[in-house]
A and B are shown apart, each in its own frame.
Chain A
Amino acid sequence: MIEKRQDMNASRAPAVEGNILEVRDLTVHFVTEDETVQAVSNISITLKKGEILGLVGETGAGKTTTALAILNLVPVPPGVVKSGSIRVCGKDVLNAPVRELEQIRGSDVSMIFQDPMTSLNPVFTVGDQIAESVMMHDKCSKAEAWERAEEMLELVGIPRERAYEYPHQFSGGMKQRVVIAIALSCNPKLLLADEPTTALDVTIQAQVLDLMCDLKEKFDTSMIFITHDLGIIAEICDRVAVMYAGRIIEEGTLEEIFNHTKHPYTEGLFNSLPNIEDRTAKLRPIPGLMPDPTKLPKGCAFAPRCPYARPECIETPQEPKYFSDTHFALCSAYSEPGFRIDREEV
C-alpha cells in the first residue's frame, strides 16, 4: 500500500528531489510496568517540498508523539519505537548517531511547541537564544550569529533592538514569534508546528498564521501543522490527516477531507463544531469518549462511538479504502456497496 502511494507521488512530481519526509509504518508504544499505551499505530506520512500537512485529532490521538518521533525525541523509556522508519531529507532519523541527529534537528527539521511561555529560557535574552541555534549549526562567530538573530527577529515582525530583552518582557504572541524565529533560524526544510497558536488570542493567532504563511512562501518550507482547530486547517493546509487513537483514519487533500468526508469520525468532528453562520443549528456531538489507549480493540477503535458501526467492525482490523490517489479512509463499512455517510449526501 505504501509502495503504491509513493509511486504515485513520484509519478506526479518527477522533477523534485524526492520527499522531504517519509514515515513508514511507524508504531510507538509507551510501556510501563502495568500496561502498554499504544500511542501511535502503523502510520505512514509522506511530505513533499513546500507542502503543508494538517494533522488533526483530539487529545491523546497521538499527534504530538508522531511529531516527537520525527525528531527522535520520544522519551525512552517509557517510549518504545516498535517498528517503522523515518527519513527526513533522505536521512534515517531513528538510527542516526547522536552527533548526526544534532545536525538534523534544527537544520533539516525543527519544531514549534504549543506553549511559548515555557519553551523559552527565562534567563537568556531572546537574541542569545536565537544566536545559540545559529552558532550550533553554522559554525560562525558570535557577532555573525547575533546579526542573523536580529535579522530573524525582524523577519517575524519584532524590532531588532528587542533582541537584548528577556522573554518576560514579551507578550504571548511575541514570544511565539520568537520561538518561530528560533525554529526558522537555520532554514529547516521541514517545520513541525505543534498547536502553535492554541495558547494565543484570535487576533494574535491571525497575525501568527499570516506570518507562517508568508514564511512558507518565502522559503518553501514543508510543514506539519498539528492542531485540533479545523478552521485553521482549512486556512493553511494542502493536505489533511485525521488521527484517532493512534491511527490515521482518514487522509486526503483539503478539498477531499472537507467536501468529500468519508470517515464517520471526521464527520463527527465537523458535526461537533458550532456553525457560525447558523446559530440555531443543534450541535451533534460524538457520543462517548476516546477509548482507553491501553486497551485498543483489534479492529476499529472508533466503532463503539460510531453510528454506522456493525458488530464485525470492532473485531476485524481495518484496511484502508482508497477513493482517489490521495484520499483514503480506514473504515470497513465501505466494503458494502453503496455505503455513504450522512455528511456526504448534503
Chain B
Amino acid sequence: MAESLLEVKNLKKYFKTSRGMLHAVDDITFKLERGKTLGIVGESGCGKSTTGRCVMRLIEPTSGEILFEGKDLMSLSKREMRSMRGDIQIVFQDPFSSLDPRSTVMQSIAEGVKVTGKYGTRQAIEARVVELMDTVGLAQRLINAYPHELDGGRRQRIGIARALAVEPKLSICDEPVSALDVSIQAQILNLLQDLQHQLGFSYIFITHDLAVVNHISDDIMVMYLGQTVEMAPSEELFRAPAHPYTKALLSAIPIPKVGATRDRILLKGEISSPIDPEDACRFSKRCNYAADVCHASCPKLREIAPGHLIACHRFDINGMIED
C-alpha cells in the first residue's frame, strides 16, 4: 500500500484553564491519502480548528504523532518545522482579518513566493505572483490594491493564492467559504476542486456546513467535543449515517426544496463542557439512545464496515440497540 501523505495518531491538545484542563482535541487519529480531501465537520467548540492547527504545529499538541510523508513532525525542531511549512499551508476562515491591511496584493502573495527560494529576481517573483493571481481568478489590475479595497470573495482568493505560493502538498482549509455569499462560495469551491484536479493537492477541509463538506470531501470525520464520533467515505456517511449525533446533524440541514422536510431529530440541550470531561460518552447527555453503559465509559472507535468507523456503545450492525 502506498504511503499516506499524512497520518495523525492519538493527537491530543489540552488547554490549561482556571477551572481545569480543557480537552480541546482528545485522541484523534486519521489518515489522508495524496490528492484526496478529508472533511472535518462539527459544531463550534468541537475542536476541528484546533485539530487543523495542531497538524501544522501552529498550536503545539499536548501529545500524539503526526507523520507527514513518513516523517514525524513532532520530533522536528522549530527551524526544521519552519521549512516543513512549505509543504503544509493553511487558508483561514476570515479573509477580513487574515491579511495584512498594509500590504498590497502583490506584497502579500510575493512573501510566499520568496520563501520558496526558487524565484531569484524581482521580475521572476512578479511573474509568479501574476501567474498565481491568474490561477485563483484575480484580475491583474488588482495587483497593487490593498485588502480594504476588495470584497470578501477576492480577499479569500488572495488567502488561497498565498497558500499556493509556497507550492504546498497539503492545504488545511479552515472554514474557507463560511464568510462568503453563496454565489461566491460556489466560485471558491470550484476553484479549490479545479486546483486539486490540476495540481494534485490534498486538503483537510474544516467546516460546519454539511452540504459543502459533502460536496468537496472524499472522506468525512465528524467530531464532537474533541473526539471523533464517526468517520466514513462521504457517500456512505450521507447514505447510512450510524452515530446518533451524525444522524441528528444530517437531519438538521435545511434542504432548499419545497416540502423536503424530513423527520427531524431534535437534540435536547447543547454541547456540554469540555473541561475535565468524565469518562462517559460525551454525547450521552443529548442522545436519545443513551443507556447506563454510555454514562459509564467512553466508547472506542470501531469499524462497522470497510472504512466506516464509529464510536458508540449502542450501535449494532442491525441498527441502534433499543431498550
Q: List residues of A whose CB falls within 8 A of some B CB.
A: 58-59, 171-174, 201-207, 209-210, 228-235, 254-255, 258-259, 268-276, 279, 282-287, 289-290
Contacts and interface: CB of A to CB of B under 8 A. Distances in A.
Interface in B124-164: 151-154
Contacts of A230: 256
A289 B153 contact: yes
B181 A279 contact: no
Given A274-B211, A276-B238, A285-B183, 12 more contacts: A203-B267, A204-B270, A206-B251, A229-B256, A258-B256, A272-B182, A273-B211, A274-B212, A275-B211, A279-B215, A282-B190, A283-B215
A255 B44 CA distance: 33
B210 A285 contact: no
Contacts of A234: 254-258, 260
The 5 closest A-B pairs by CB, nearest first: A231-B254, A285-B186, A274-B215, A230-B256, A272-B186
B258 A255 contact: yes
Contacts of B257: 234, 258
Q: Is the interface of B mostly helix, strand, loop or mixed?
A: helix
Contacts of B248: 203
Given A228-B181, A230-B256, A270-B256, A171 B190 contact: no
B152 to A, nearest CB: 8
Contacts of B216: 274
Given A202-B252, A282-B190, A289-B153, A269 B182 contact: yes
B270 A276 contact: no
A259 B215 CA distance: 23
B165 interface: no
A251 B231 CA distance: 42
A173 B270 contact: yes
Contacts of B261: 235
Interface in B266-280: 266-267, 270-271
A92 B228 CA distance: 56
Contacts of A289: 151, 153-154, 184
Contacts of A275: 211, 215
Given A173-B270, A276-B214, A203 B249 contact: yes
B264 interface: yes
Given A202-B253, A233-B256, A255-B258, A269 B212 contact: no
Contact of B185 (A202, A270, A272): A272
A254 B258 contact: yes
Contacts of A209: 254
A283 B266 contact: no
Contacts of B27: none
Nearest to A204: B270
B266 A207 contact: yes
B210 A273 contact: no
Contacts of A232: 254
Most chain B C-beta atoms within 10 Å of own C-beta, residue among A173, A207, A258, A285:
A285
B50 interface: no
B187 interface: yes
A299 B64 CA distance: 61
Interface in B12-64: 43-44
Contacts of A276: 210-211, 214, 238, 253, 255
Contact of B266 (A174, A210, A271): A210
A283 B190 CA distance: 7
Contact of A201 (B154, B183, B208, B235): B208
A198 B172 CA distance: 24
Given A207-B266, A289-B153, A283 B44 contact: no
Contacts of A228: 181-182
A203 B252 contact: yes
12 contacts: A172-B44, A201-B43, A201-B44, A204-B43, A205-B252, A206-B266, A207-B266, A210-B266, A234-B257, A272-B183, A274-B186, A282-B190
A54 to B, nearest CB: 11
Given A231-B253, A269-B182, A285-B190, A202 B210 contact: yes
A58 B182 contact: yes
Contacts of B251: 206
A233 B151 CA distance: 26
A254 B44 CA distance: 31
A205 B261 CA distance: 14
A179 B252 CA distance: 22
Contacts of A268: 183
A265 to B, nearest CB: 9
A255 B186 CA distance: 24
A235 B252 CA distance: 11
A285 B210 CA distance: 18
Contact of B256 (A207, A255, A273, A285): A273
Nearest to B217: A279
A271 B187 CA distance: 11
B234 interface: yes
Nearest to A287: B187
Given A235-B261, A279-B234, A206 B181 contact: no
Contacts of B270: 171, 173-174, 204
B298 interface: no
B282 to A, nearest CB: 14
B189 interface: yes
B259 to A, nearest CB: 8
Nearest to A202: B252
Nearest to A206: B252
Nearest to A230: B256
A141 to B, nearest CB: 34
A102 to B, nearest CB: 35
B8 to A, nearest CB: 24
A279 B266 contact: no
A274 B39 CA distance: 15
Nearest to B212: A274
Contact of B43 (A58, A203, A231, A272): A203
